Every structure is written in C-alpha cells, then in structure tokens.
Chain A
Amino acid sequence: MSEKNWIEVGSTDSIEEEDLIRFDHQDKTFCVYKLTDGFYATDGICTHEAVHLEDGLVMDDEIECPMHQGIFNIKSGEALSPPACEDLKTYPVKVDNDKIFIKID
C-alpha cells in the first residue's frame, strides 16, 4: 500500500456523528462519514443519477440519496434499495493525529 495515495480529508472534529462531509480531490468527489464506530468513505455521486450524496440522509450505517431515495450501505457500498441497483465504491480510511485520510486508488 503506497503512502502517497493516502489523501488528507480534514480533522476528525469536522464531521458530526451520523453525518458526512463532501471531499473533492482532483476531478472526483467523495463522501466521508462518521458513524458510531468510526470513519468511512465512499464515492460522492449516486450510482443511479449524477447527484451529490453530500445532501443525503445518513442513518445507522446507510446513506440515502436526496434525489430519488436510493439507499447504500456506507461500509460495504452495497445498493440496498431501488432505484439504486449499482453498488457505491468504498475507500479505506485511517485516522492519524486527529486527521482523517482516505486511500484513493
């Protein structure tokens, strides 16, 4: 695992629990979540239609798209409820000195 692919997202206190922040890097958008047991990251755009998930609802371990209510499991990226049927890509996250990093391939 190359260190250079770990990108700093922000500090751990920049996200409230059961919430997310949007993180843009180069031409891609990601969502970084704080759940009860830690931080997680997924692609930031819904797989159903090109809409940002940053305005979606985080509840338990799920993110729900604000446009058409497609639901994904944040930890696995699995599409749980139609109209979403394609899984959401997930990314490894680590915390170092109160900073959140995500690993982008």
Chain B
Amino acid sequence: MKKNIIILGGGQAGIYAAREIRKNDTESNIKILGEENLLPYERPPLSKDFLLDKKNEQDLYFHSSEVLKNENIDFENILITKVDFEHKKLFSKNEDVYTYDTLLISTGSDNKRLSLDNNLNDDVYYLRNLEEAKTIKEKVLNKNKITIIGGGFIGLEIASSLSQLQKKVTVIEISNQLMGRIIPKQIADLVQSTHIDHGNKIILNKQIDKITKKNDNFEILLNDNSLIETDFVIAGIGSTPSVKLFENTNLKLDNGIVTNQFCETSIKNVYAAGDVSNFYHPLYERNMRLESYQHAQNHGICAGKNIAGVKTEYTSIPWMWSDQFNLNLQLTGICDEYDEIIERGNDINKGVIYFFLKNNKIRGACGVGIIGKVGRDIRITSKLTEKDTIVDKQILSDQNLKLNKLIQK
C-alpha cells in the first residue's frame, strides 16, 4: 500500500532509513525533512580530517543528490516547530503542513552547553555540525593557545587535530579520567599519555569557576583557584537527545524517545532511530541510548526495514571508534557489566585490549593501538559477544594466539 513516509531529521540514521525503505518499498512517498540546508553528511571527520584540511565539504556527503533522485527520495530543508501525533501532522514555523502515514524521528542530539554569563555565550565554540566545524577551523587560524573544556571523544579529537596544527592545547576535564562516560580508565590513561607526549596539557578533576574576557583573550578560573590564560575556548561536554519538539506530547520520553527492539515508539506508526532513541537491546536485555556512527547507520537501516514491513529486531552489538594522533581506539559491547577483566597486550604499538567478561562470556571490550592494530580483534570480539560464546581466557590474554580461533562456525 502506498504511504506517505516522513523522516524527521536529515542525518545519518535518516538517510540510511530512507534508502532501506526504498529497497523494500518502491511505491511509497519518502520525504526527509532536515534542519540543515545540506544533504546528510558524515560527522566523524569534522573534528579530524576536516579541521586538518585533509577532507573538504564535498568529501563528507553520504550520497549525492542524484542518488536520492534516482531512488525517488525527497529531501527538504525545513525547521519543524510543532507535531500533532493525533492527526499525523508536522508544522513548520511558517505553518507549512506535512501529513504522514508513518513517521520516523531521527533528530539526533544537541550539544550540552556551559552555563555562562550571557555576554560570553558567543565566545565559547561547540562542534557538532558542519557549520560549527567551519567556524572553528576559520577562527583558530590566528589563535595560539586553545582551551578545550571536556575530555570526551570530541574534545580529545579536536585537541589532537589542533595540536597537529601547532596550537598549544589545554584540555580541562571535570572527572578523574578522560572519556570516563564509556571508556575504561586503563585505556583512557594510554590515550592521555599520547596527548601529553604530543605537548597537550591535560587537567583532570577540575571544574570551571569562571571565564573572564580580557580584550581578545580569556582567563579561565578553576575551582582550585588556578588561572588559565587562553586565546580561544571550545567546549565538548556531552549531548542530549533532540526531543524538545515532543516534550508536551504523549510520546514516551526517557533519556530520548523510548523505543522497542523494532524501533517502534509508544505511538503507533511513529518510529525513532539513532542518537535520539533510547532503545531496547534484546541481547543486553535493557534499554540504551548510543551516539555513534555505526549505531546511527544500523539503527536507521533497522527502522527502515520495519517501516517497510520487514519485521527486524535490532541486535547490533554497539561499536564505536575514535582517532587521535596516530591512535585508533575502538569499543565494542558494553564495558560496565562484568565480573572479570582480561588484558591482551601491553604495547600500544601492537595494540592493547581489555575484555570485560561476565559468566565467562564477553560483554564488551575496549582497545587502543597504532592505527590498524586493534580493529580485527575488536571485530572478532563483537562476533563472540553477539553469539554469546563462552571464551577461552588463555587465547584472549595471549596476543600471540589468534582470536578467530574462538569463533564457532
């Protein structure tokens, strides 16, 4: 049956969903409504190769407009300001009305922002979209001392890039380790050493008390009364799901839009995918919200299948990466539910991986190494996790023994 399918959110989850729907449904109208006046593009390079001028804007687009045209997928740049789930309508600021039979919400997430005096709000920069990346790239050109507030992935990737652009970089992190929300301390400490080796200054366990503008520069007062002078301030302090539009509706929200393993929300014919969704993962038997490239892609594809009537459970094992300097860090599964930790390797040049086991099965693993050195083992780990395999710990802990021996075919 021909339907009007609207995808609200023009990011990675949205475009992968659209193409997957089209693969399975040649009849329905598919329209993506995107807030940015850009076709869906890849975000990971924004903090890395884009800042370093190794990739330009054209390199970032997932698909050309021809691909969308050939697949009869409509893309419209519009800001939706109101949703009426009861009558299946979306409204723009100018009261344009969009009527759907099926809606996919893939609005992503927004930057958390520092609470600052109003007169400083325009002086602290954030990086989530292409426009923000362009601004930072241009503004840092004639700056030397850069301070990054927040030692998570985004902050550290920017720190790595700006260091490679010969900037003097300081990272201030409120907790006692970098990337603490999801990365085990053992791995975070290895990454921290690499930053320090490249001349970046890392300050842990400190809060910002005050930022003061002095002519064109800034003074940052920390809670131990130390003072940092800087030319430019960037903050990467996490994100929140983009759900403002739905706050006064009957859509069930709890750290994002609550969905089941089929990407279905609490409202019939309304689906959610990607960063905005707090989804049920049947293998981990709990809800989770993920912000990663692989998840946006695979969750979008899964939503697309379900919207097109191909009932599909989302069982993808979480996986993400970060590239900093010459290091590639990878995480698979979840590393916060375990009764045993096993270490594989101790030399970052060969790759170091920590496995997190529960009842002799891997729940998650995190590794870091020179680019290329942990990917294969992390991938095998994902497969072992997915298959719920009881693992031979001797093989896990000995880097001379290949992990693919553990995969049961």
Q: Check A67 for interface membership: any CB of B closer than 8 A.
A: yes
Q: Mark B318-338, 1 if CB is under 8 A from A, else 0.
A: 010101000010000000000
A69 with B379: in contact, given A57-B404, A83-B42, A83-B293 (CB under 8 Å)? yes
Q: Check B376 for interface membership: any CB of A closer than 8 A.
A: yes
A6-14, A23-31, A48-56, A91-99 - the one binding chain B: A48-56
Contacts of B169 in A (CB 8 A): none
Nearest chain B residue, comparing its CB with the CB of A53: B372
Q: Is the interface of A mostly helix, strand, loop or mixed?
A: loop
Most A C-beta atoms less than 10 A away, residue of B42, B372, B404: B372
Query: Which B353-405 residues have a C-beta within 8 angstroms of A?
Result: 371-376, 379-380, 404
**Contact present for A64 and B404 (CB under 8 Å):** no
Per the bound structure, the CA–CA distance linking A64 and B381 in Å amounts to: 14
Contacts of A66 in B (CB 8 A): 328, 372-376, 379
Q: Mark A48-80, 1 if CB is under 8 A from B, else 0.
A: 000110111101000011111100000000000
Q: Check A38 for interface membership: any CB of B closer than 8 A.
A: no
Which of A57, A59, A68 contacts B321, CB < 8 Å? A68
A67 to chain B, nearest CB (A): 6
Per the bound structure, the CA–CA distance linking A69 and B295 in Å amounts to: 12
Which of B42, B294, B372, B404 contacts A67, CB < 8 Å? B372
**Contact present for A67 and B297 (CB under 8 Å):** no
Which of A55, A57, A83 contacts B373, CB < 8 Å? A55
Q: Mark A11-25, 1 if CB is under 8 A from B, else 0.
A: 000000010000000
Nearest chain A residue, comparing its CB with the CB of B373: A55
**Contact present for A55 and B376 (CB under 8 Å):** yes
**Contact present for A69 and B404 (CB under 8 Å):** no
**Contact present for B376 and A56 (CB under 8 Å):** yes
B328 to chain A, nearest CB (A): 6
**Contact present for B375 and A67 (CB under 8 Å):** yes
Query: Which B280-312 residues have a C-beta within 8 angstroms of A?
Result: 293-294, 297
Contacts of B294 in A (CB 8 A): 69
Contacts of A56 in B (CB 8 A): 375-376
Per the bound structure, the CA–CA distance linking A68 and B292 in Å amounts to: 12
Contacts of A57 in B (CB 8 A): 375-376, 379-380, 404
A55 with B372: in contact, given A18-B404, A67-B321, A69-B294 (CB under 8 Å)? yes
**Contact present for A64 and B42 (CB under 8 Å):** no
Nearest chain B residue, comparing its CB with the CB of A56: B376
Per the bound structure, the CA–CA distance linking A82 and B379 in Å amounts to: 15
Per the bound structure, the CA–CA distance linking A66 and B380 in Å amounts to: 11
Nearest chain A residue, comparing its CB with the CB of B379: A57
The 9 residue pairs across chains A and B that have the minimum distance between CB atoms: A66-B375, A55-B372, A57-B376, A57-B379, A66-B372, A66-B376, A55-B376, A52-B372, A67-B375
Listed A/B pairs (20) with beta-carbon separation below 8 Å: A18-B404, A51-B371, A51-B372, A55-B373, A55-B375, A57-B376, A57-B379, A57-B404, A64-B379, A66-B374, A66-B375, A67-B371, A67-B375, A68-B321, A69-B294, A69-B319, A69-B375, A69-B379, A82-B297, A83-B297
A: residues with CB less than 8 A from B are 18, 51-52, 54-57, 59, 64-69, 82-83
B: residues with CB less than 8 A from A are 16, 42, 293-294, 297, 319, 321, 323, 328, 371-376, 379-380, 404
* Additional A-B contacts beyond A66-B372, A82-B297 (4; CB < 8 A): A66-B374, A67-B323, A67-B328, A68-B293
